[in-house]
Amino acid sequence: MKKNNILIFLLIGLFFYPLSLKSTDKFSFSIAADMRNFSGKGNYDTDQYFAGVVKSIKRVSDSVFMISPGDIDPPSKIYWTISKYLGKNYLWFPVIGNHEAETISDMEWLLNYHIDKNGKLPPNIVRWGPEQCKKTTYSFDYKNSHFIVIDEYCEGYNKLKSSGGNISKELYEWLKKDIVINRKQNVFVIGHSPAYPIPDYESVRMRHENSSLNNHPKNRTKFWKLLKENKVIAYICGHTHNYSITDIAGVWQIDAGHSRGIADTGSKSTFIIIDVNGAKVGYRTYRLNKNGRYELSYKGALR
């Protein structure tokens, strides 16, 4: 009788096991990049610059945090603007870009920035990076999703300032381990430089064509293969100030463009909202129009 009961429970467990893998978690997060020098108190605290981006994010979504893929200097001013318009409890996850890597004061601020303000509450830091960039490379979880922030300049600050960074051997090995042991349904990797520089969708402007991760083509190819093999949904980046979302060999590359408002007229100021609904992941891209308002310009499914 006991054996029969055990068998029944095993069969029930096997029947419902696939269902347990299906998450109904639902949330949104924002992406804004390359707003450097156009935030904080004073002349730039207007809708024409980064403040306008942050106000619009609040208007169009209930995002739970923002990720900024680099060129966020001075970070103290970016943080001030985010805190003012989205609240002091709104979480901000910064990424090291080439301008931070070349600026000692920026790095000091970021190394002292308390990323894991929530402690054990989600989103919470799961793992810190390799020794060379222990506090600027990290991964965190939120609901059914895993986020990996990589510092592509951790081979030596002030040494890679003119390059697009690199996926060094140490960074690659750490990233590989983090991805392999992850058990979350959706995975996003965030760095500063694109793996494949692409022109802006509308202005067709091209920047950093030869100063991105493609400066180290073997490392770039190895990195992209790792993302594809582990079903990473998207690699989120900045650097170029140009917006594009492109499926490259089964992995989306999301270049967030810039969030400087009218300070860069070569392409429209942009922010992106990523909507997660279980295994379904979509994006909404908002760009600055001629009337000075951020309007929904593109939307689609990443999975």
Find out whether 280 and 23 touch, Cβ atoms under 8 Å: no
**Longest Cα separation, the chain:** 79
Q: Is residue 146 part of a domain?
A: yes
Q: Is residue 267 part of a domain?
A: yes
Q: Quick one: pLDDT at residue 19?
A: 35
Range of the domain at 29: 24-301
Peptide bond into 197 cis (omega under 30): no
Q: Quick one: pLDDT at residue 157?
A: 56
Q: Is residue 53 part of a domain?
A: yes
Token pair 């073997």 in the structure block, residue: 218
Q: Is residue 11 part of a domain?
A: no
Q: Is residue 8 part of a domain?
A: no
Sign of CA dihedral 271, 103, 83, 144: positive
Q: Quick one: pLDDT at residue 20?
A: 36
What is the CB neighbour count within 10 angstroms for residue 209? 13
Q: Quick one: pLDDT at residue 141?
A: 96
> Can you tell me the distance from the alpha carbon of 194 to that of 236, in angstroms, rounded to the nearest whole number?
8
Q: Is residue 128 part of a domain?
A: yes
User: pLDDT (tens digit, 9 = 90+) per residue, 210-239?
Assistant: 889 999 999 999 999 999 999 999 999 999
pTM of the shown model: 0.90
How many distinct structural domains can be found in the chain?
1
Q: Is residue 255 part of a domain?
A: yes
Q: Quick one: pLDDT at residue 24?
A: 84
The ranges of the chain with pLDDT < 50 are 1-3, 5-20, 158, 160-161
Which domain CATH number covers 258? Answer: 3.60.21.10
Q: Quick one: pLDDT at residue 253?
A: 98
Residue 267 DSSP code:
S
